[in-house]
A and B are shown apart, each in its own frame.
Chain A
Amino acid sequence: MSEQPPVALRGLTKQYGRITAVDDVSLTVNEGDVFGYLGPNGAGKTTSLRMMLGLITPTSGDARVFGHDPQKSVDALADVAGFVEAPRFYPYLDGMTNLRLVDALDGNDAKSRIAEALDVVELSDRAGDKVGGYSHGMRQRLGIAAALIRRPKLLLLDEPATGLDPGGMRDMRALIARLSAEGMTVMLSSHLLAEVEELCNRVAIVRRGRIVYEGELDELRAAAGLTIRLRTSDDEVALRVLADRRGISDVVRHGAAPIQFRAADEAAIGELSRALADSGALILELAPSAATLEDLFFELTEGEGDAEAEAKRLDEVADLTGGPE
């Protein structure tokens, strides 16, 4: 069954009354991916992960992990571990006993493995304390430990860095990177583009239950990143030069703010700089606009228009810039 992708969602939909929490989501996570499931509050990230873990039943469509349906039997989750929202444990048992409990429910009794996992999440010295007295971040760490003792091939994490201190976030990222390097497939949800950018090779951006973008992160970066900012000694002239130029598009200028445009490639920018100099509009600033990926993300997830139109716009951008392939 190893040819089956770790995650395959097909037309996955979950309806809560009038609210469509997850709306016809289809995506595939391939072996070795660190897949970012990115979206704002209420986008449906947790709901999707719950369906992948067999905790809730889809209204329609299905979620498969390694080709198996977790709705049918927990056997489907044999190679899967993870958690949704904040990991929860029995507050009246200590951390170690909680881990021994979940390990027993896996059919194991591996004290050394538990000790090792506690070590990885740096909880060893608090393992004897009741979980009721743990801080939020400590529970988060315990959740990671509980997932690791299962030795999964696929790790599903719902906003894993939530509640961690900066050092904890750094450790969490390092851990995910290490697990990925060791061959684990990871799917994590996040609000934070920066987090996903740092960790993930592929990303799906969701908005109100719908996927508005899915693909390589590099592609998205390419689609967003070639917006150029331009200031010249004479912007009126510069605008005339920019107009109808090959490889230049989406020229905008808001009042006194720098001109912005998208360039198909670097050659087009080189050509442009010569043309500008010839025209007498001297370049004061010509630079890739920072934070455009962030802008694109907000545009995709917050725009007023419907998600499909946004996605189409993104496709056009991607076509224009050529993408990395």
Chain B
Amino acid sequence: MSRPGTLTVYRWELRKLRAQKRTYLGLGAAVLVPVAFAIAVAIQPGGPTEVPFGSYVDDTGLVFPLVTLLFGSIWFYPLIAALVSGDIVANEDNNGTLKTILTRSVERSQVFFGKVLAAFSYSIFAILLSGTVATVAGILVSGFNPVPTLSGTIVTPEHGLALVAASLGVYLLPVLAISSFALLLSTVFRNSAAAVVGTLMFSLLLQLVVIIPGLDGLQPYLLSTQFNSWQGLLRTPADWEPIIRAAWVSAAYAIPSLVIALTVFLRRDVAGG
């Protein structure tokens, strides 16, 4: 008999995710959107010129994941993250299963952290999967060719691939912050639809804040802005400032969310169900 803990919960949370339709809904969308984009480009050359890299989609497949990240940041990737993170606690309320797991030998905090790890793992997996699919589909459509940077220089395809991978990594920072916020709503609302919609509204409303006169100074500190921070990598030399800001701003959203969620989860009455 080994002592069960956060990792035990984590393993079983992953197993539960594998058994649920919603997981595949999110992952399926994460795959389908870049594939659809690649097909559209293949059928009708000429990309979306209004976004960075959009005009290069016919030249190199390596910009496909970058364009997908740009378009996905408004609501698509936040939705994918929220789909599972917003459900992971509320699901237990919905099924009345909290009493089942909280009367075994794992502490509430271990259950919570196991869930946080599982939600993060899913979000990371979904983004990396989506990025990989976009890269592969892009290379198939437009080839493995040199990549133009935002500074106007051109880098080799190999270097470009490394930059894509690094960009996906930086993109995960705000994604995990969104996951954390969804976890908070999931814990507080105890209802997964409310948590998913709430997270999406939060993510959209943040982007509107800057419209209010006088609040545009907040722009650098909004979570939505951090979704674009990876672009710093695609400059020569790399601009680290937005990336460092993305790290701490994302943490500033994520950590309080998780702390409040944990507090609520530890103190709540498990009644009903």
A213→B92 CA distance, assembly (Å): 37
Contacts of A298 in B (CB 8 A): none
Most A C-beta atoms less than 10 A away, residue of B1, B11, B98: B1
* Stretch from B100-108, B119-127, B206-214 forming part of the interface with A: B100-108
A158 to chain B, nearest CB (A): 10
A54→B98 CA distance, assembly (Å): 12
Our pick among B8, B95, B107, B270 for the contact of A91 (Cβ within 8 Å) is B95
B: number of interface residues (CB 8 Å): 32
Our pick among B96, B107, B108 for the contact of A88 (Cβ within 8 Å) is B96
* Stretch from B12-20, B81-89, B178-186, B191-199 forming part of the interface with A: B12-20
Binary flags per residue of A68-83, CB closer than 8 Å to B gives 1, else 0: 0000011101101111
Question: With an 8 A cutoff between CB atoms, is A56 at the interface?
Answer: yes
Contacts of A85 in B (CB 8 A): 273
| A53 & B99 in contact (Cβ 8 Å cutoff) | yes
| B16 & A73 in contact (Cβ 8 Å cutoff) | no
* Stretch from A100-108, A231-239, A261-269, A310-318 forming part of the interface with B: A100-108
Closest B residue, CB atoms, query A93: B19
Contacts of B4 in A (CB 8 A): 104-107
**Known contacts being A50-B270, A57-B269, A90-B97, is A107 close to B16, with CB within 8 Å?**
no
A27 to chain B, nearest CB (A): 21
| A88 & B100 in contact (Cβ 8 Å cutoff) | yes
Binary flags per residue of B67-101, CB closer than 8 Å to A gives 1, else 0: 00000000000000000000000000001111111
Question: With an 8 A cutoff between CB atoms, is B9 at the interface?
Answer: yes
| B103 & A104 in contact (Cβ 8 Å cutoff) | no
Our pick among A57, A81, A92, A93 for the contact of B103 (Cβ within 8 Å) is A81
Considering the complex, which residues of chain B in the window 1-45 have a beta carbon less than 8 Å from any beta carbon of chain A? 1-4, 8-9, 11-12, 15-16, 19-21
Question: With an 8 A cutoff between CB atoms, is A87 at the interface?
Answer: yes
Question: With an 8 A cutoff between CB atoms, is B271 at the interface?
Answer: yes
| B100 & A104 in contact (Cβ 8 Å cutoff) | no
Our pick among A74, A90, A102, A150 for the contact of B95 (Cβ within 8 Å) is A90
Our pick among B1, B100, B104, B105 for the contact of A89 (Cβ within 8 Å) is B100
| A92 & B20 in contact (Cβ 8 Å cutoff) | yes
Binary flags per residue of B233-273, CB closer than 8 Å to A gives 1, else 0: 00000000000000000000000000000000001011101
Contacts of B103 in A (CB 8 A): 53-55, 74, 77, 80-83
Contacts of A91 in B (CB 8 A): 95
Our pick among B100, B267, B270, B271 for the contact of A87 (Cβ within 8 Å) is B100
Contacts of A77 in B (CB 8 A): 103-105
Closest B residue, CB atoms, query A50: B271
A207 to chain B, nearest CB (A): 21
Our pick among A74, A78, A93, A101 for the contact of B107 (Cβ within 8 Å) is A74
A50→B96 CA distance, assembly (Å): 13
Question: With an 8 A cutoff between CB atoms, is A84 at the interface?
Answer: yes
**Known contacts being A56-B271, A73-B107, A102-B104, is A107 close to B3, with CB within 8 Å?**
yes
**Known contacts being A87-B100, A88-B95, is A107 close to B105, with CB within 8 Å?**
yes
A75→B245 CA distance, assembly (Å): 42
Our pick among B16, B19, B101, B102 for the contact of A54 (Cβ within 8 Å) is B102
A54→B108 CA distance, assembly (Å): 11
| A83 & B16 in contact (Cβ 8 Å cutoff) | no
A104 to chain B, nearest CB (A): 6
| A89 & B99 in contact (Cβ 8 Å cutoff) | no
B95 to chain A, nearest CB (A): 6
Contacts of B100 in A (CB 8 A): 83, 87-89, 102, 146
Binary flags per residue of A260-292, CB closer than 8 Å to B gives 1, else 0: 000000000000000000000000000000000
| B8 & A83 in contact (Cβ 8 Å cutoff) | no
Contacts of A90 in B (CB 8 A): 16, 19, 95, 97
Contacts of B108 in A (CB 8 A): 74
| B271 & A88 in contact (Cβ 8 Å cutoff) | no
Closest B residue, CB atoms, query A108: B1
Most A C-beta atoms less than 10 A away, residue of B4, B21, B267: B4
Contacts of A84 in B (CB 8 A): 99
Q: Tell me the A residues contacting B by CB distance below 8 Å.
A: 47, 50, 53-57, 73-75, 77-78, 80-93, 97, 101-102, 104-108, 146, 150
Across the A-B interface, give the 8 residue pairs with the lowest CB-CB distance, nearest first.
A88-B96, A105-B104, A56-B269, A55-B270, A107-B4, A106-B105, A92-B19, A88-B97
A86-B96, A91-B95, A106-B1 known; 7 new pairs, CB 8 Å cut-off, are A50-B271, A74-B103, A74-B104, A84-B99, A89-B100, A92-B21, A105-B105
**10 A-B residue pairs with CB within 8 Å:** A50-B99, A55-B102, A83-B103, A84-B99, A89-B97, A89-B100, A101-B12, A101-B101, A105-B101, A108-B1
